[in-house]
Structure 1
Amino acid sequence: MVSTSGGYGGLNGVVESMLRQAQEQQRRLAEFQRQRAELRVTGESPDGLVSVTVDGEMKVGDIEINARAMRLDSFSLAESLQAAIDAAYAAFGEHQQELLTEMLGGSELVRQAQAGTLTPEDWFRRFGVDLGDPFRGLRR
């Protein structure tokens, strides 16, 4: 028998529970976005002559060129600059992946998703939602 009366055993309880879960996911997403916006990651060329900082919008910000780099020909200087930019973007990607993994509930869950072995049911179950029994919260 399905009850639609108030309280946590009824439909209102199910709706309240779903709203709480949605609010928690929204909070996690907002926190991820805030942390990503605050990211500042620096990459350095292999020769150590150039360093580049990328911000949370993935824009190149600070560029530092060692005075010794001025002795390089233009091609070598450009290579060092490009290597530093590539290193900064790679580091940014790693930091962003760490933030995303934390937001999504752990590295194992992310690995399963990337491997294609994570089902929607497993995903929702991780956050307390049982898709296999939609009337779970409606029974008394």
Structure 2
Amino acid sequence: MSSPWGYGGAGGAVENMLRQAQEQQRRLAEFQQQRADLRVTGESPDGLVRVTVDGEMKVGDIELNARAMRLDSYTLAESLQAAIDVAYAAFNERQQELLTEMLGGSELVRRAQEGSLTPEDWFRQFGVDLSDPTRGLRR
């Protein structure tokens, strides 16, 4: 016996929504993996210190040029902090790029950051109109 909705009716709408949710989940997992794999390096303006930040935003490798050993402790600390600041800025910039790729555009990212991105706008970006109650019922 066939469903009164016909093939692709309510069941098709649910299947379509599930596929879209799975695609979003896949994209989010991909973003999270790319973020976890991130490694960025920052260098102090004097070039004496290089610092690498990993995907957990932890400072990993610290490289000191041999000339850095001649610096007083205050100047060395400033160079180290500058390199860390550069690395964190580079990390945030790269993370922003990954987020923009995942969301499908910088406008969505900007709106998400300011809190004006609604779920309807998010889904509309991917071809789903939540305001249409018959969206999956038509053939």
Task: Settle same-fold status: TM greater than 0.5.
Answer: yes
Instruction: Compute the RMSD of aligned alpha carbons.
Output: 1.7
- Structure 1, 110-119 or 60-69: larger mean CA deviation: 110-119
Q: What pairs with 1:126-137 in structure 2 (closer than 5 Å)? A: 126-137=125-136
TM-superposed deviation, 1:108: 2.2
User: Where does the alignment leave 5 or more consecutive residues of structure 2 unmatched?
Assistant: none
- Structure 1, 117-126 or 34-43: larger mean CA deviation: 117-126
Work out the number of aligned pairs and report it: 137
Q: What pairs with 1:31-110 in structure 2 (closer than 5 Å)? A: 31-110=30-109
Q: Which amino acid aligns with 1:50?
A: V
TM-superposed deviation, 1:30: 0.8
Q: TM-score scaled by structure 1? A: 0.89
Distance in structure 2 (CA, Å) of the matches to 1:55 and 1:28: 21
CA shift in 2, pair 1:59/1:116, >3 Å: closer
Q: TM-score scaled by structure 2? A: 0.90
The residue that corresponds to 1:20 in the other structure is 19
User: Where does the alignment leave 5 or more consecutive residues of structure 1 unmatched?
Assistant: none
TM-superposed deviation, 1:43: 0.3
Amino-acid identity (%): 83
Distance in structure 2 (CA, Å) of the matches to 1:119 and 1:26: 18
Distance in structure 1 (CA, Å) of the matches to 2:43 and 2:74: 17
- Structure 1, 46-55 or 130-139: larger mean CA deviation: 130-139
TM-superposed deviation, 1:114: 3.4
